[in-house]
Structure 1
Amino acid sequence: VSASDLKLEDSGQKSPSVDSSDGMMKKTEGQIITDTVQEVSVNEQSEHGEAKNISKNPVKELSETKERVLQNPKASLSDRSATSVHLKKKGKAVPSTSPVSSRYLESLKMLEDKCMQKKSPEFNKMENLRAAVFQNWLEKKKLLQLELKRSEKEKAEILRSNTEKQEALKREESLACYEAWKKKKEKEAKKLNEKKKLEELEENKPAEQNKEKAEAAQAVILYMMISCSSLSLCRNKKKEEYIKKKKVQKFLEKRKREMQQAKAEEKSEKALEEYEKWLENKVRREQLEKTQKKMQAVHGNEESPPWRPPGKVTYSGNY
């Protein structure tokens, strides 16, 4: 215990790399102690009948191994193997990887607490001293970590401000370059526009001359068209009058044809009516003749009626 206390005191004055090595050492010590506790509990579980007789020996051995581990962590591996062999000789062989019951762990913890209470007050003083040294080391470590964090934060802030300044300078430079390029392009555009205007004027001169010639030719053509249009108007008027006369003549001829057609239709209708009347008279006359012949055949002694023309119909008084 005293050796570990001295190590903790030295670690409070060393660099953060020593703190990390002490942390690794503590991890190995804790792992060794837990493995030893598991082996003892497994052996007690396998030999529950003999646990009452040999319960004092494992507790003593466990406390001794703890002290040896704290004093010399490297030599604790050989002691651990010897302790496990000694315990395995007393009981049956049980694999160390088997699950450990929480009930036996609690009983083992209670026994260990009783043994710790029975120890001397010097041991308690050493433990208190060790706890005070560890607390002091922990506070120093926290302060160191806070200092490191603060320094890292300051460095990050400085780096951020520097990057912002550099970016601002780059932006200003890029804006200045853009403005210079823009002015240069504007000057070049003005020169190009002036040059294009001159070229257009030179190109438009012959075009304007041709345009004037074309306008003069169009004026001559219009004059000729106007002079000709007066003649054409007279001709058109005469033509329209002739067309109107022809239309009137066609209309009169059509009307005449329609009247003649109507008269012919009336004549044909009258002829049909007369024919129908004649046909009816003929049928009646034939019927009368037939009836007269029948009557003569019935009345053979009677005198035959006098002859009458076919156009007239007379009725005898025999009916």
Structure 2
Amino acid sequence: SVDSSDGMMKIPEGQIITDTMQEVPVNDQSEHEEAKTMSKNSVKKLSETKERVLQNPKASLSDRSASFVHLKEKGKAVPSTSPVSSQYLGSLKVLEDKCIQEKSPEFNKVDNLRAVVFQSWLEKKKLLLLELKRTEKEKAEILRNNTEKKEALKREESIACFEAWKKKKEKEAKKLSEKKKLEELEEKKPAEQNKEKTEAAQAVILYMMTSCSSISLCRNEKKEEYIKRKKIEKFLEKRKREMQQAKKEEKSEKAMEEYERWLENKMRREQLEKNQKKLQAVRGNEMSPPWRPPGKVTYSSNY
């Protein structure tokens, strides 16, 4: 099995032990089996002695000495002609048999195959990582473009809303100013009418007082009456002039408003004409004929 983190190969312990077991000759296997049975018997006897000690502690010393002597004799009886290979050695067995496995051609073939598999896996992993980075970069670019477009649209919408709000406020301000002017005129009219009425009443009262005067003062009365009449006429003429002046002012205000409207329309027309002239000039430059020397006569085909 190949480890993906550091690229090192780990060989199972069981496989190495079985391979080494296959290389051991038949005689060594028989000796190995004998040693295994002996170890089992010794373990069994030790367990029996432990049980006896627990049951009878006085007889423990004699049993221990007997078991020790028996094991010693057994150990002397079995000659160790070849090293005993045990299946419980684990990684120590791998280290002992490393030289043997490196010399074997099958181990080299397996090692090469595993190295090739690991190399191909590593290349696929690198390609996959590059593809993931590329897709993440593309997603980030698309997200950035979308956010920029949304922000530009929001800016345009806010500018358009501000312009519409500004025009609306200008219209409302103009309407309010006109309304205030009308209200002021309406407030002035009743005051002026009251003033006229009081003055007329005073004139009538004065006239009545003069008519009720004595006969001896008839000439003076006539003179005063004449003066009062003249005053009344002057007052009426003055009032008439004031009314005419108010009408003239109202007409002049209306004329100024009409003039402002006309001037605004004129400025718009002039702006449109300028824009049209610019467009015509641009189109004329695009459709202008090629340059010719000044001495050369050209004839146009349009008559």
Q: Which has the higher contact order (CA 8 A, sep 6+)?
A: 1
TM-score w.r.t. structure 1 length?
A: 0.32
